[in-house]
Structure 1
Amino acid sequence: MSRTPALVVVLCLLLTAPAAAQAPRWTRATPDGGWILALAQAPSAPETLYAAAQTGRLFRSLDGGASWQPRGPAVLAGVRDLVIDPVDPRTLYAMTGYPQPLRTRDAGRTWAPAGPGLHSVAALALDAEHPGVVLAATAGGLYRSLDGGDSWDLAAFAETQVAAVAIDPGATATLFAAVGNEGDPTVLWKSTDRGATWVETPLSVPAYTRGLPRFAFDPAHPGTLYLAFAVTYDFDSTGPVLRSRDGGTTWTELPAASGNLLNLAVSPRGDLFAATAYGVARSTDFGATWSPRLPLTFRFPGEPGDTISHVLASPTAPGELFAAGVTGVWHSRSGGARWAPRNRGLLAQGVYSFGLAPDAASTLVALGNGSVFRSTDRGTTWRRLPRTGAAGPPIWIEAFDPRHPETIYGLGSDGQADFPLVSQDGGRTWNKPRFPYNCHLAGSLCDVSLGRIAVDPHDPEAFYVSGSYFRHFGPSGSFLLRSDDGGTTWDKLAPLESIAALVFDPTRRGVVRAIGCDGFFQSGDGGASWQTAGRGLPRKLCTGAGLSLAIDPQEPRRLYAGTAEGVFLSTDDGATFRPMNRGLETAQITSLQIDPANSDHLYAGAAGRG
């Protein structure tokens, strides 16, 4: 089952205004945060931080992460590292999927490739004592620029893959490079004259080792450095973590630093921190032991409860840490003992589904990046709910029980078969009821896809589930089911192919509307039969984005349809529709909800729009 990520926006509709009044405008109500792929702190201005989000947008903070502002267009798709100029905090480099790194000299407002001639750049290192000197580890050797990346010359290791390069911040004439072509061992080389000459060290890591070499230097103990072969996108494997206490002459492997390690950082006091897929761990004895014990796992995670790709140790405030996670930026002033989100203004949350509680008009529940968020003030502020329960959070929020707003229906998936999920505590925990369609014992050639789940407001004990099923050695087709006992038993109704949204009329029993790939439909007998309607809707309704429907509870003849071409309004019971997208930029709409206490408020989930 595929669901398209979206961002939440909010609209205040002035339905009682004169016809000539200005059209309604959309504004954001997105939860702060989002999946942060890279995080960096300016060496010359520690209060300045940059965060690169999965959306491709760069954010900057000038107050130590207390607030964030977007910078420039969303051009940093797939970024894995940010490197800030050690002298100018407005100049930084982004390691992306491009052959060359991107560079900005105006704090992210504009970007351009950092010079021609580079191929497959793996890492950059900037010389703090010589502004403009940049080293680039590439697939064809080590390159040097003397002008900040405008031009490059080969410095060493011609036609050889250099996987990483680093400059010792305590002795900037000392350089390290991890060198080795694919299939060959990775060998560590050292230079003590800024790269004029190089000496091969005894450290050689076997070719089968997986992971990206990352260096970390201990500012409290000169000559102590770490080399971690960290995982990138494969959380199941990692290479060794090594330590040198003599400036890289000899190395010791740290077997306690194992599993899901993504990055390392060293504090001004010499404490070592590991960013992992399940939180942050700390070592106070040069990596010999860790708290909590590595490897961190889903059952035994660390704090914060997030996948951490980068951890930063403030150079000026002992005990202060920043971390980049799937849900946003995290901050600690206690050396990692306690963490708090630091995301005000960082609007990069991929909210792909949300719901509005029926008797508490100010309460919203949203899904984003594998987490459940809850707002009690119409989306002004949000709180991330802890992940609990065996079933995990759903991939889509479907409906609320109109009598018990803490009961929420959602859609889950095991990657092959979708299934309903029910929460009875406002989205904190989720349970899986019995369901007649599944892929149990059906092999790999099986698929169950759910369209929508809806609750009948005239009979709240009844909820409906639409979808389709396929079995290679069995029957296939569409289904529409009704359960009156919480999913213990199910009744079959007349199915429609590819139903994407299903809504009930709040004043007329048995009147149901549905939208799907084949159009807009209405039923007057609770789904036993269907008739086509919806003139004016786009002809191509299934274009990769989701479809949605909402009905005005105070004016049931007023319907809203969310499509790949924006929001459409009907004022004649669904017979005809017209677009209403002022301020929405004709976004692809995946979710729609109306405030039940004030139908002037319409909430929409818009795919990929920030």
Structure 2
Amino acid sequence: MSPGPRVSPGVRARRARTLPALFGLLVGFLAGGPVTSADADASAATAAAPATVPYDWKNVRVDGGGFVPGIVFNRSEPGLAYARTDIGGAYRWQESTRSWKPLLDSVGWDDWGHTGVASLASDSVDPDKVYAAVGTYTNDWDPGNGAVLRSTDQGETWRKAGLPFKLGGNMPGRGMGERLAVDPHDNRVLYLGAPSGKGLWRSTDSGATWRQVTSFPNPGNYAENPADTSGYASDNQGVVWVTFDESTGKGGGRTQTIYVGVADKQNAVYKSTDGGGSWTRVGGQPTGYLPHKGVLDAENGYLYLAYSDKGGPYDGGKGQVWRYATKSGEWKNISPVAEADTSYGYSGLTVDRQRPGTVMVTGYSSWWPDTQIFRTTDSGANWTSAWSYSSYPNRENRYTMDVSSVPWLSWGAHPTPPEQTPKLGWMTEALEIDPFDSDRMMYGTGATVYGTDDLTEWDDGGGKFTIRPMVKGLEETAVNDLAAPPSGAPLFSALGDIGGFRHTDVTKVPSLMYTQPNLSTTTSLDYAASNPNTVVRVGNADAAPRIGFSTDNGANWFAGQEPAGVTGGGTVATAADGSRFVWSPDGAGVHTTAGFGSSWTASKGIPQGAVVEADRSDPKTFYGFKSGTFYVSSDGGATFTAKASAGLPAEGPVKFQAVPGKKGDIWLAGGKAGATYGLWRSTDGGATFKKVEGVQEADTIGFGKAAPGASYQALYTSAKIGGVRGIFRSTDTGTTWVRVNDDRHQWGWTGAAITGDPKVFGRVYVATNGRGVIYGDTAARRSR
């Protein structure tokens, strides 16, 4: 199982799972001059908000669920560490609670790409300062440019400097780095390695403005797949890391010697000895590989480099580890395993600052049977590994794993040796030893952050160190759908990459994701309105089955059969009483079944790819929508009839829901900026729709328990109302709205799903693209 990249609307590239919205971001700059943006708080709204109701916001707990490509410890303040994610923002470690705090929840809808963090840098001169290079894609999936965010309060608030190019927090090569670095002596000076052939950039005013370093000779030339017409795999991965030799500077003066790694298999490592004024290729360096990491041990005078033949984080078939002596210029191959015996590249790389000469590196792309971690205590002369074969296929591990705090990391798997569960990891490109504590180490995987507090047990011949999840508070799932039934579990989620969960308590980590079938990504789910024990879910998998059913409110599942031609999950709906289902899968037309999918009948009168939903009162009535036309079936989905749908959006994604207990009462949200866009209601089963006044844009619609004294359910939407983007609630059938989020709680793109809680007035669950499921309660309710 491997979390993959998540991309923009309508894009279904390899491993693409979720659908953030597009936006336009204008960045002005002067040719050859400094690049900056309006120096404003990154969370500032552009217009006065409508009335706001105070809310408290928390995550529905999953703990992890996505790729963590970077972990950065501060070198001068004990316990201060940061983590970056590919689409879910940045986090700061909180030692007192041993948890992570999200730092970029203020990123708004128009800047959704800034939830992808390409690099992080923590200032060792002033530990209150931290920087984040943000931007999700370098191709047109993200039409906005990247930026460097800077904070003087450890990420509590940010200011933004725009860049004249894109950054790729979720692009190939995102595990290399760090691209962003602060001079350890003159902290006004920062460097940023750019992708896409944009070269090396420098700031001399603490990140407020940036200029290209025109003397730097090589912008890189490696692309994963130059023939990829989407621009995703064909992008030049560029300048990938910057490392300062702190022994060559003094406090207040610029560090003189700087090393830079470039995605170029022949000319990978460059050096400046005059504070970045001039640059030369380091002589004698190895060729044929990409330098994923470059970490310098200034005390011993060694620059360590982890190489792979590919950019990662998925690919890599060969690799090497090298040591460069900064004084003599000697290069030495110190690879833990001979190249001929490897099937993976190296990336995760760290030095023990308390015990110079102790170095660790990961075989990040060792997928089977497991990732591998290596350790040396003598600067690479000798290595030991986290696991080895005692007698194939049996393994001997130097560690034990305790995933009791996040039990789903077992995946419910029962692998055949030499595979084990839980796995040590995959995509292990982030690896750091705490610079103040030789016993603490953290590393990122494709699903979590693992760590240990007794690492030096590794070096005791008879001891074992213990690996546990260190991921509490870091929520990185991409959410496709949500359901909150009136009885049973309070919440079902459809998630990218790890399938989704039945939450019986949103404050606790579930024991396991959905299984039987185990879908890599769940795209849609539904429950029977009058019989919530009946639940259906569909999603993506390498092969059938791609649909699962439950008759006990999701506690247990069984797989169904599928019609011919299915390639992906699409959308699914269950009759109000659970007697039948309508499925609109990818690759095949809309189908209906009585019972639990033992056989399917193609529906008539509705096009392939239509979004389908069920009436929440009449078990024979189903609805569909595609390209501006609304469809209705009154015979259980066997036949659909197109309705007069004038005025509904013909472009852009559309979500719609039927109100529980009210036949034919339908709300529809969606559209496209610059075209038809908004919120509509039908009270006659889709025969006619009326646009809701005052709602300029809307992307989701959901229902929750009615307000005290009200007879109609509360409405929730992610929308633009009164010129302001936010999460809104109406308790009077859409006549008036209040904003329930604020500028510090925006979470980038929230256009996939929303639902209120049918049992708790005011509670709303919000789907995000990389920050998991957020839920909010009115502040008054929480205070009681």
Same fold (TM over 0.5): yes
Mapped partners of 1:225, 1:427: distance in 2: 53
In the other structure, the counterpart of 2:148 is: 102
Counterparts of 1:601 and 1:137 in 2: how far apart (Å)? Answer: 43
User: Which residue number in structure 2 is paired with residue 266 of structure 1?
Assistant: 351
Secondary structure of residue in 2 paired with 1:338 = strand
Aligned residue for 1:442?
none
Q: Report matched runs for 1:223-302 at 5 Å.
A: 223-230=301-308, 232-237=311-316, 240-244=319-323, 249-254=330-335, 256=337, 259=344, 261-267=346-352, 268-269=354-355, 270=358, 272-274=360-362, 276=364, 281-285=372-376, 286=380, 288-292=383-387, 300=419
1:512 counterpart residue number:
622
Q: Does 1:66 align with 2:200?
A: no
Matched ranges for 1:177-216 at <5 A: 177=259, 184-186=266-268, 203-206=284-287, 208-209=288-289, 211-216=290-295
| Correspondence 1:434 to 2:561 | yes
Matches of 2:511 and 2:247, distance apart in 1:
40
Offset at 1:373? 3.4
Q: Partner of 1:563 in structure 2?
A: 670
AA of the residue aligned to 1:465 = W
Separation (CA, whole Å) in 2 of partners of 1:142 and 1:533: 57
Deviation at 1:465, TM superposition (A): 1.9
Selected match of 2:584 from 448, 466, 475? 466
**How does 1:521-560 map onto structure 2 within 5 Å?**
521-531=631-641, 539-540=648-649, 542-543=651-652, 545-553=653-661, 555-556=662-663, 558-560=665-667
CA separation in 1, counterparts of 2:52 and 2:130? 42
1:455 maps to 2:574: yes
**2-side partners of 1:425 and 1:304: how far apart?**
34
Q: Distance in 2 between matches of 1:136 and 1:499?
A: 45
- Does residue 360 in structure 1 map to residue 416 in structure 2? no
1:318 to 438, 441, 444: 438
C-alpha distance in structure 2 between counterparts of 1:101 and 1:25, whole Å: 30
SS of the residue 1:458 aligns to: coil
* C-alpha distance in structure 1 between counterparts of 2:449 and 2:58, whole Å: 19
1:128 aligns with 2:184: yes
Alignment of structure 1 residues 30-179 onto 2, 5 Å: 30-31=59-60, 33=64, 35=66, 36-55=68-87, 57-63=89-95, 66-71=99-104, 73=107, 76=114, 78-95=116-133, 102=148, 104-106=150-152, 107-108=154-155, 109-113=157-161, 123-134=179-190, 148=206, 164-169=241-246, 175=257, 177=259
* Partner of residue 597, structure 2: 487
Q: In structure 1, give the amino acid aligned to 2:285.
A: S
Q: Which amino acid aligns with 2:670?
A: T
Q: Is the 8 A contact 1:263 1:311 kept in 2?
A: yes
Distance 1:337 1:63, change over 3 A: closer
Query: Contact (CA 8 Å) 1:190, 1:200: kept in 2 or not?
Result: no
Amino acid in the other structure paired with 1:453:
V
SS at match of 1:590: coil
Seen in structure 2, the aligned counterparts of structure 1 residues 450 and 499 have a Cα distance that, compared at 3 Å, is: farther
Give a deviation string over 1:79-98, Cα, whole Å, max 9, x none: 32212222112333444569
Q: Distance in 1 between matches of 2:130 and 2:219?
A: 26
**Cα 1:438–1:214, aligned 2, differ >3 Å: closer, same or farther?**
same
Distance 1:145 1:456 in 2: 60
Q: 1: CA distance between counterparts of 2:620 and 2:164?
A: 66
- How far apart, CA to CA, are the structure 1 residues paired with 2:426 and 2:550? 22
Residue correspondence of structure 1 range 351-390 to structure 2 within 5 A: 351-356=479-484, 359-377=487-505, 379-383=506-510, 385=512
CA-CA distance at 1:167 after TM superposition: 2.7
Distance between the aligned counterparts of 2:485 and 2:271, measured in 1?
Answer: 61
Q: 2:560, 2:491 → 1: CA distance?
A: 25
- d(CA) in 2 for partners of 1:4, 1:590: 9
Please state how far the C-alpha of 1:503 moved relative to its aligned partner: 0.7
How many angstroms apart in 1 are the aligned matches of 2:578 and 2:210? 71
Shift, 1:601, TM fit: 6.2
Q: Post-superposition shift, 1:469?
A: 4.7
Given that 2:262 and 2:268 are in contact with CA atoms closer than 8 Å, whether structure 1 keeps it comes out as: yes
1:238 Cα shift? 5.7
Q: Which has the higher strand share?
A: 1
1:566–1:368 distance in 2 versus 1, CA, 3 Å: farther
Letter of the 1:73 counterpart: V
Count of matched residue pairs:
568
Distance 2:604 2:243 in 1: 65
Aligned residue identity for 2:562: F
The alpha-carbon distance between structure 1 residues 77 and 29, as it changes in their structure 2 partners (threshold 3 A), is closer
The equivalent residue for 2:719 is: 585
In 1, Cα distance between equivalents of 2:491 and 2:198:
56
- Structure 1 residues 81-131: Cα deviation after superposition (integer angstroms, max 9, x where no partner): 2122221123334445699972525345444559999x9998455442444
Q: 1:228: Cα distance to partner?
A: 0.8
State the distance in 2 between where 1:57 and 1:237 align: 26
Contact 1:170 1:222 in 2 (8 A): no
- State the distance in 2 between where 1:236 and 1:370 align: 20
Distance 2:217 2:679 in 1: 57
Shift of 1:502: 1.9
8 Å CA contact 1:165, 1:175 repeated in 2: no
Following superposition, the deviation at residue 134 of structure 1 comes to: 4.6
Q: What are the superposed Cα offsets for residues 13-57 of structure 1, whole Å, 9 maximum, x if unpaired?
A: xxxxxxxxx999997564455644543222222333334444474
Deviation at 1:606, TM superposition (A): 6.5
Superposed CA offset, 1:157-200 (max 9, x none)? 65786765423456767846367895744466686x87799997
Post-superposition shift, 1:500?
0.6
2:490 is paired with a residue of what secondary structure?
A: coil
**Which of residues 452, 463, 467 in structure 2 aligns to 1:338?**
467
The DSSP-based 3-state class of the residue aligned with 1:316 is: coil
Question: Does the aligned pair in 2 maintain the 1:563–1:590 contact within 8 Å?
Answer: no
Distance 1:452 1:371, change over 3 A: closer
Paired with 2:716 and 2:525, the residues of 1 have a C-alpha distance of 27
Change (3 A) 1:373 1:318: farther
**Residue type of the partner of 1:84?**
S
SS at match of 2:184: coil
How far apart are the structure 2 equivalents of 1:293 and 1:384?
29
2:73 counterpart letter in structure 1:
Q
Instruction: Determine if contact 2:519/2:540 at 8 Å carries over to the other structure.
Output: no
Aligned partners of 1:177 and 1:532: how far apart in 2?
A: 64
Does the aligned pair in 1 maintain the 2:528–2:535 contact within 8 Å? yes
Equivalents in 2 of 1:509, 1:84: separation in Å?
57
Q: 2:527 aligned with 1:396, yes or no?
A: no
**Residue 13 (structure 1) aligns with:** none
Partners in 2 of 1:140 and 1:607 — Cα distance?
A: 28
Verify the 8 A CA contact 1:177 1:189 in the aligned structure 2: yes
